Amino acid sequence: MPRVMLLKGNHAAAYACKSARVGVVAAYPITPQSPVVEKISEFVESGELPGTQFVKVESEQSAITAVIAASATGSRVFTASSANGLMYMFELLPWAAGTRLPIVLCIATRAVAAPWSVWTDHTDAFMTRDCGWITFFSENNQEIYDTVLMAYRVAEDPSVYLPAFSAYDGYILSHTQMPVQVEDIEVVDQFLPPLKHHINLTDFDNVKGVGPVTLPHPPDRHEFGHAPGYFEYKFAIQRSLERSLPEIKKVHKEFCEIFGRSYGNGIYKTYRMEDAEVAIFAVMSVASESRLAVDYLREQGVKAGLVSLKVFRPFPIEDLRKAFKNVSNVVVFDREIGYGYEGVLSYELKAALYKSSTQPDIKGYIVGLGGRDITYQQIAKGVKDALAMESVNENLIETDYIGLELDKLEFLKREGGY
Amino acid sequence: MFKPVKIMDLPEEEMILPGTRLCPSCAPQLAYRFILKALGPKTIVTVPASCMTVVHGMQGATPVKVPVLNTTFETVAASASGIVASLKNLGKDKEVTVLAIAGDGGTVDIGIQGLSGAAERNTDMIYCCYDNEAYMNTGIQRSGSTPFGAITTTTPINGKLEHKKNMGMIMEAHGLSYIATACASYPQDLYAKFVKAKEMKGQGLRYIHVLAPCPPGWGFDNKLTIEIGRLAVKTGFWPMYEIIHGKMELSKESKRLVDPTKRKPLEEYLTPQRRFRKLNPSQLQEIKKYVNDTWETINKRVSC
């Protein structure tokens, strides 16, 4: 029987691994991710996850390497990390995608040092953008559990065979308890059948050399024809990412039919968008706070709505064009900075709507870095300020910052500001 | 007691097909050939960026008859850990040998953290360092395993100012069940050591460090590969031993070198190699002292 449990976000991820019958886990401690793997070690040592191997590695780099190797050998694998730990994995992230391995990695988001901060922002998750992985976001703990299950289904689909991140806010979700329905494992088995691995190093009748040197041009293998060059491999990843979008929708629909829960169309979620004239565009913690901001704005007569992105990579251009079709303004709240430019969501949305038939004005804000609170009142004010700017229109290209407290810094006044 | 293998006892089947892309007279490849003969077809190999990447061929064609997983420079021990964990998860661990094979750079420098971790976790695997004493695949840059006085492309004028890391002792500090040093110029000895490491399955990480002369990197004639490796052993520069559950035993070729008068003069090893061409008398003295000190430590251990 499905069971409703009071779970922290990290433990929801751990229970999802248990429901998915993950075979090999390798991880290294980092705040705020650690409780995910602490819980999994408990499952392994208590015998609740029979056969599952937990490799307690000496670094994140070894964690990701071990799950890459275990995945290539034929097991369903899992790892998790945050911020600097994720950065330490970085070299292996494109390696995992390039080897076409269906790994699921949970990111309990955390600001990237220096300076040190253990609190949330979305910089770490966004920095992995160009590694060839699918990136899912979650707004609550049930969604974390559900997304991990869906991520495996998508990643293991032969039309995809790519690794996937499942990101959620550190502390705000990772360490906060919410009721989570943990599903009956036999039902999960139907949704997520055992992995049939396309590499499977243990197949000694069909010996493979995995991840060898490629060439600038497709090499001629005579009677075997041409082998792909590096370029063709990269193109194949891009194609698979593009094709993962309909696959994600399909998997999400099936998930909804079996378990009765849905997250928009699986790609993005909306709130009060039906008659909205201005849309907030945000992810994770900022999106959930924006739901309150939408109600608050509506009370004040502003016809606001929310588009909360669930899948960041591949970037769902067509979906977003549809989502923002009927609004005149979009206000984007980024909990990270694309350094030297603006918030990443903001500029990516601008690019996605380029030459679309309806082009709303887009205003971007940077909010909540390093765990600074971002409240629905601040978000609502940001929306109203953006709408006021529209009449002048000139500030729309500039990024603004909500919640910066420069006025508290006495030394800045003495020195005349940054 | 260590029993040498007769040449006729070696398996005939070659696990590496002819026509790899390595240099002529490559000792690492020679070593690898006998390693795979010893470990047999039910072996999964993982290799980091190294000359071993080159052995395994380009996309669409590999000359090696066992499954191979390439990985990044520093991660081969973690990669093997993942394979071992997956084999256990799939219930196939009893029948398969896992080999991580890396060069000296991938072992003593960039890979030492992962190796130390895998050793500490008693990972059921064989780790082989083929030591050609510099970053040969990237163009002969100095590594932590380059010997004192050797000219490399990053020690171009003075030669290396430090001695090589004593990796056998570093690994012994991890409390391993099996540690051995070997040399590609003694393939039967090498073969026997890998057979033993294979048979010690289930006893954690077994570590074998193989000295593997590199003609272009060391600067000697292709035809001298075997000879140079043998001189490294016969002069005492490269002692060959096994440490089984903490007990050190010298291998046949090294045993009699406990007596310094049985060692060939070190110059016979150094002079044919262009990397030692700039050695001055005091540097030569320093290497001689290093060899003597190494043997004094060994003598203390094997005599008691």
Q: Say whether pLDDT at B89 is over 90.
A: yes
Chains A, B: CB contacts within 8 A come to: 174
Asked whether residue A255 is domain-assigned, the answer is no
How sure is the predictor about B2, in pLDDT bands with cuts at 50, 70 and 90?
low
Asked whether residue A202 is domain-assigned, the answer is no
How sure is the predictor about A393, in pLDDT bands with cuts at 50, 70 and 90?
low
Instruction: Tell me the nearest-neighbour CA distance from A25 into chain B, angstroms.
Output: 9
How sure is the predictor about B71, in pLDDT bands with cuts at 50, 70 and 90?
very high
Among residues A140, A167, A191, which one ends one of the domains? A191
Instruction: Tell me the nearest-neighbour CA distance from B233 into chain A, angstroms.
Output: 34
Q: In the predicted model, what is the mean pLDDT of residues A177-190?
A: 97
| Element containing residue B191 per DSSP (H, E) | helix B187-199
Token pair listed for A325? 């079709």
Write down the pLDDT at residue A112: 97
Write down the pLDDT at residue A315: 98
Task: Measure Cα distances from B154 to B108, B143, B150, B159 in Å.
Answer: 17, 9, 10, 9
Which residues, numbered 203 to 222 in chain A, qualify as contacts with chain B under a Cβ-Cβ cut-off of 8 Å? 203-204, 207-215, 219, 221
Check whether residue A165 and residue A298 sit in a common domain.
no
Asked whether residue B242 is domain-assigned, the answer is yes
Residue with tokens 């006892």: B9
Domain total in chain B: 1
How sure is the predictor about B57, in pLDDT bands with cuts at 50, 70 and 90?
confident
Residues pairing with B141 in the sheet: B135
Asked whether residue B1 is domain-assigned, the answer is no
Which residues, numbered 55 to 94 in chain A, qualify as contacts with chain B under a Cβ-Cβ cut-off of 8 Å? 55-59, 61-63, 65-75, 77, 91-92
Lowest mean pLDDT among A216-220, A235-239, B267-271: A216-220
- pLDDT tens-place string over residues A13-71: 999 999 999 999 999 999 999 999 999 999 999 999 999 999 999 999 999 999 999 99
Lowest mean pLDDT among A116-130, A398-412, B26-40, B106-120: A398-412
Give me the residue from A65, A75, A229 closest to B75, CB to CB. A65
Check whether residue A170 and residue A274 sit in a common domain.
no
Q: In the predicted model, what is the mean pLDDT of residues A76-101?
A: 98
Q: In the predicted model, what is the mean pLDDT of residues B4-8?
A: 83
- pLDDT tens-place string over residues B110-146: 999 999 999 999 999 999 999 999 999 999 999 999 9
Asked whether residue A240 is domain-assigned, the answer is no
Q: In the predicted model, what is the mean pLDDT of residues A166-183?
A: 98
Q: In the predicted model, what is the mean pLDDT of residues A197-224?
A: 91
| Contact indicator for B47, B71 with CB cutoff of 8 Å | yes
Asked whether residue B255 is domain-assigned, the answer is yes
Check whether residue A182 and residue A97 sit in a common domain.
yes
Lowest mean pLDDT among A125-139, A384-398, B10-24: A384-398
Asked whether residue B84 is domain-assigned, the answer is yes
Query: Is B82–A74 a contact, with Cβ atoms under 8 angstroms apart?
Result: no
C-alpha B177/C-alpha A330 separation (Å) is: 64
Query: Is A70–B85 a contact, with Cβ atoms under 8 angstroms apart?
Result: yes
Q: Is A103 on the interface with B (CB under 8 A)?
A: no
Which residues, numbered 88 to 117 in chain B, qualify as contacts with chain A under a Cβ-Cβ cut-off of 8 Å? 88-92, 96, 113-114, 116-117
Asked whether residue B231 is domain-assigned, the answer is yes
Question: Which residues fall within 8 angstroms of residue A261, CB to CB, at 6 or more apart?
Answer: A142, A146, A181, A255
- For B97, the domain range is 7-303
- pLDDT tens-place string over residues B220-272: 999 999 999 999 999 999 999 999 999 999 999 999 999 999 999 999 999 99
DSSP state of A220: B
- What is the domain-level CATH number for residue B55? 3.40.50.970
Which range is most confident: A70-74, A353-357, B3-7? A70-74
Check whether residue A274 and residue A184 sit in a common domain.
no
Asked whether residue A166 is domain-assigned, the answer is yes
C-alpha B172/C-alpha A84 separation (Å) is: 32
How sure is the predictor about B58, in pLDDT bands with cuts at 50, 70 and 90?
confident
Write down the pLDDT at residue A263: 98
How sure is the predictor about A418, in pLDDT bands with cuts at 50, 70 and 90?
confident
Write down the pLDDT at residue B6: 87
Among residues A141, A162, A191, which one ends one of the domains? A191
Asked whether residue A201 is domain-assigned, the answer is no
- What is the domain-level CATH number for residue A396? 3.40.50.920
Phi and psi for A152 in degrees, rounded to 5?
-65, -45
Among residues A144, A175, A191, which one ends one of the domains? A191
Write down the pLDDT at residue B5: 84
| Contact indicator for B253, B234 with CB cutoff of 8 Å | yes
Write down the pLDDT at residue A398: 80
A396: alpha, beta or left, given left = phi > 0 and alpha = psi -120 to 50? Answer: alpha
Write down the pLDDT at residue A211: 92
What is the DSSP secondary-structure string of A109-133? E-PPSSSP--S--SHHHHHTGGGS-
- Interior/surface letters B227-238, b for 16+ CB within 10 angstroms, e for the rest: bbbbbbbbbbbb
Give me the residue from B60, B69, B72 closest to A72, CB to CB. B69
Could you count the other beta carbons within 10 Å of the beta carbon of residue A232? 14
- What is the domain-level CATH number for residue A153? 3.40.50.970
Asked whether residue B2 is domain-assigned, the answer is no
Query: Is A209–B92 a contact, with Cβ atoms under 8 angstroms apart?
Result: no
| Contact indicator for B20, B55 with CB cutoff of 8 Å | yes
Asked whether residue B138 is domain-assigned, the answer is yes
- pLDDT tens-place string over residues A398-413: 899 999 999 999 998 8
What percent of chain A is predicted at pLDDT more than 70? 98
Identify all chain B residues contacting A219, using CB atoms and an 8 Å cutoff. Answer: 58-61
Check whether residue A187 and residue A273 sit in a common domain.
no
Residue with tokens 């590096």: A230
Asked whether residue A227 is domain-assigned, the answer is no
Domain total in chain A: 2
Asked whether residue A27 is domain-assigned, the answer is yes
Check whether residue A182 and residue A299 sit in a common domain.
no
Asked whether residue B211 is domain-assigned, the answer is yes
Instruction: Tell me the nearest-neighbour CA distance from A197 into chain B, angstroms.
Output: 12
Task: Measure Cα distances from A212 to A14, A208, A230, B17, B48 in Å.
Answer: 34, 10, 10, 17, 10
Q: In the predicted model, what is the mean pLDDT of residues B148-154?
A: 97
Which residues, numbered 135 to 194 in chain B, qualify as contacts with chain A under a Cβ-Cβ cut-off of 8 Å? none
Mean pLDDT of chain A: 95
Could you count the other beta carbons within 10 Å of the beta carbon of residue B298? 18
Largest CA distance in chain B: 59
Q: Say whether pLDDT at B167 is over 80.
A: yes
Check whether residue A151 and residue A281 sit in a common domain.
no
ipTM: 0.96
Predicted TM-score (pTM) of this structure: 0.97
Task: Measure Cα distances from B224 to A26, A78, B234 in Å.
Answer: 45, 49, 15
- For A153, the domain range is 3-191
